[in-house]
């Protein structure tokens, strides 16, 4: 079985609007190319018969008959080979970005006679999506022989290049055997027809985040900075899981029983991921575009937060707005991944509006994770900085991901970055990110 390869084309199965289509939805020009040899032979056959009509030599008639037999065989045989064949494709419904997707393809021969030299062509729009050059089709391989009433099964591994929700197929059967004069094709919609590719994750060991009230007394996480530490409200008996740092030893000695300090936290910490889905904010192309990097960072921070018991919510104002409430656990993380797999930078709502929506449900002490790709230009500060200032006044803590516009747009320099300076003045933790850098090394220095 040959390795999968891609065919020509720019969009998955969709030619340019100005190109005429053939009966399978492919460009008519492509149909002419596939039947070019047959058309040339047809012209030669007509010429041979025209010449034979004016002559009585048997040899001329024999040549014309040979041309006709060759033409009929070259056209009819490929159509016979793909008839009575069925194909099904199966594979995972979900995959991670950058992983290999294993597809199982089975060809069934419903006829009595064997079929041979049949090529399997599929439409897999995620192949080539990382570079933006999506092929019209992918050749999965060629089946040399399928016995009558039998089947052949094989596996094909293709890369899941870019996150998204994709509709696959239909799987096509193609053959030009034995003479290569014309190619016969038939589409089959069998088996799996969708695939969801999730953004890739990278490990995060630690982040400048703060904890939740449920973990404060256990000593596992800290309270948000600027909220005071906590208010002492009394003593109580030691319970399993309490931090030894909170044991009040004088009281424990007097009562001959372990006593711990009890605190009332002044802030409740959680994570709010606010994506900038404005189309003009996306810098670069393909998998290394700033928005794609932002989605991978958001997914990884969400995984880190949930692993540490922090509720996580997600906001993004694109063409299909996202507003996932705060939650915990694997089920919530799955919902986050489902949303991050399909979110796109296709909106026209300013980023400041998304930050203002985050403020409406803000919990004091919550950490707002913002993503900034605005160019470093002279002039007034961006509106997003003003929205973050209001969040800070309401008790939010800021973690700002600052994308280097010069690296994402191949510029030579940025100049003075007023946005980054403004974020630092607000007390935000600013993490600069450049195109193509190792995100794991950036977040785990």
Task: Give the mean model confidence (pLDDT) for residues 25-34.
Answer: 57
Rounded Cα gap, residues 349 and 344, in angstroms = 13
Task: Give the mean model confidence (pLDDT) for residues 398-411.
Answer: 87
Mean pLDDT for the chain?
80
In the prediction, which pLDDT does 222 show?
42
Please report, for the chain, the start and end positions of each structural domain, with discontinuous segments joined by +.
Answer: 5-198, 271-443
CATH (residue range 271-443): 3.40.50.410
pLDDT of residue 371 exceeding 90: yes
Rounded Cα gap, residues 425 and 442, in angstroms = 22
pLDDT of residue 224 exceeding 60: no
Measured CA distances, 224 to 4, 315, 369, 396 (Å): 53, 22, 15, 9
pLDDT of residue 198 exceeding 80: yes
Q: What is the percent of the chain with per-residue pLDDT over 70, rounded to a whole number?
A: 80
277 or 61: which carries more pLDDT confidence?
277
Q: Is 418 helix (H, G, I), strand (E, B) or coil?
A: helix
In the prediction, which pLDDT does 327 show?
93
Measured CA distances, 214 to 314, 367, 369 (Å): 21, 16, 21
For 432, residues 6+ apart whose C-beta sits below 8 A from its C-beta are 402, 403, 404, 420
Please write the tens of the pLDDT for every residue from 155-173: 999 999 999 999 988 888 8
pLDDT of residue 403 exceeding 90: yes
Measured CA distances, 311 to 143, 284, 329, 435, 443 (Å): 52, 32, 9, 29, 20
Which tokens hold the place of 334? 């799955």
**Which is nearest to 161 in space by CA: 89, 96, 93?**
96
In the prediction, which pLDDT does 31 show?
62
Rounded Cα gap, residues 75 and 14, in angstroms = 26
8 or 71: which carries more pLDDT confidence?
71
**Which is nearest to 366 in space by CA: 310, 414, 443, 283?**
310
Of the pLDDT bands very low, low, confident and very high (cuts 50, 70, 90), residue 206 is confident
Burial class (CB in 10 A: 0-12, 13-18, 19+), 113: exposed
Of the pLDDT bands very low, low, confident and very high (cuts 50, 70, 90), residue 418 is confident
Q: Which range, 106-115, 123-132, 224-233, has the best average confidence (pLDDT)?
A: 106-115
pLDDT of residue 22 exceeding 70: no
Q: Residue 108 phi/psi, 5° resolution?
A: -110, 135
Check if 5-198 and 271-443 are the same fold.
no
Q: Is the pTM of this model over 0.75?
A: no
221 or 56: which carries more pLDDT confidence?
56
In the prediction, which pLDDT does 190 show?
62
Task: Give the mean model confidence (pLDDT) for residues 182-192.
Answer: 70
Rounded Cα gap, residues 60 and 68, in angstroms = 12
Of the pLDDT bands very low, low, confident and very high (cuts 50, 70, 90), residue 19 is very low
CA torsion 64-70-71-75 (nearest 10°) is 160
Please write the tens of the pLDDT for every residue from 382-395: 888 999 999 998 88
In the prediction, which pLDDT does 130 show?
78
Q: What is the percent of the chain with per-residue pLDDT over 90, rounded to a whole number?
A: 35
Give the right CATH number for 5-198 from 1.10.10.10, 2.60.40.10, 3.30.460.80, 3.40.718.10: 2.60.40.10
Q: Residue 257 phi/psi, 5° resolution?
A: -155, 140
């Amino acid at each position: 079985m040959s390795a999968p390869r891609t065919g020509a084309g720019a969009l998955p199965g969709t030619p340019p609007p100005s190109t005429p289509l053939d009966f399978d939805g492919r460009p008519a020009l492509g149909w002419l190319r596939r039947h070019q040899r047959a058309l040339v032979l047809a012209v030669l056959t007509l010429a041979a018969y025209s010449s034979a009509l004016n002559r009585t030599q048997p040899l001329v008639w024999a040549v014309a008959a040979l041309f006709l037999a060759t033409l009929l065989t070259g056209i009819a045989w490929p159509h016979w080979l793909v008839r009575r064949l069925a194909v099904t494709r199966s594979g995972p419904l979900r995959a991670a970005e950058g992983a290999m997707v294993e597809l199982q393809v089975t060809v069934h021969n419903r006829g009595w006679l064997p079929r041979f030299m049949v090529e399997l062509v599929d439409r897999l729009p995620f192949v080539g999506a990382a570079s933006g050059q999506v092929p019209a089709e992918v050749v999965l391989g060629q089946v040399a022989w399928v016995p009558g009433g039998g089947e052949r099964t094989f596996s094909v591994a293709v890369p899941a290049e870019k996150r998204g929700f994709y509709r696959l197929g239909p799987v096509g059967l193609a053959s030009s055997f034995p003479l290569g004069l014309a190619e016969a094709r038939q589409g089959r919609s069998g088996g799996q027809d969708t695939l969801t590719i999730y953004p890739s994750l990278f490990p995060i060991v630690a982040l400048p985040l703060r904890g939740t009230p449920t973990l404060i007394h256990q000593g596992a996480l800290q309270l948000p900075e600027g909220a005071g530490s906590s208010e002492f409200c009394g003593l109580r008996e030691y319970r399993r899981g309490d931090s030894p740092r909170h044991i009040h030893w004088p009281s424990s000695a007097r009562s001959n029983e372990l006593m711990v300090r009890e605190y009332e936290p002044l802030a409740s910490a959680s994570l709010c991921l606010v994506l900038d889905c404005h189309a003009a904010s996306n810098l670069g192309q393909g998998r290394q575009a700033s928005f794609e990097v932002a989605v991978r960072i958001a997914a990884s921070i969400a995984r880190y937060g949930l692993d540490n018991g922090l509720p996580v919510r997600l906001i993004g104002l694109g063409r299909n707005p996202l507003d996932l409430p705060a939650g915990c656990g694997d089920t919530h993380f799955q919902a986050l991944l489902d949303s991050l797999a399909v979110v796109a930078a296709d909106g026209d709502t300013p980023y400041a509006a998304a930050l203002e929506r985050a403020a409406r449900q803000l919990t004091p002490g919550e950490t707002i994770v913002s993503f900034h790709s605005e160019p470093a230009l002279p002039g007034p500060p961006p509106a997003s900085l003003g929205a973050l200032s209001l969040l800070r006044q309401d008790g939010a803590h800021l973690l700002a991901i600052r994308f280097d516009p010069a690296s994402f747009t191949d510029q030579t320099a940025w100049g003075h970055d007023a946005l980054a300076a403004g974020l630092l003045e607000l007390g935000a933790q600013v993490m600069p990110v450049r195109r193509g850098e190792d995100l794991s090394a950036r977040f785990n220095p």
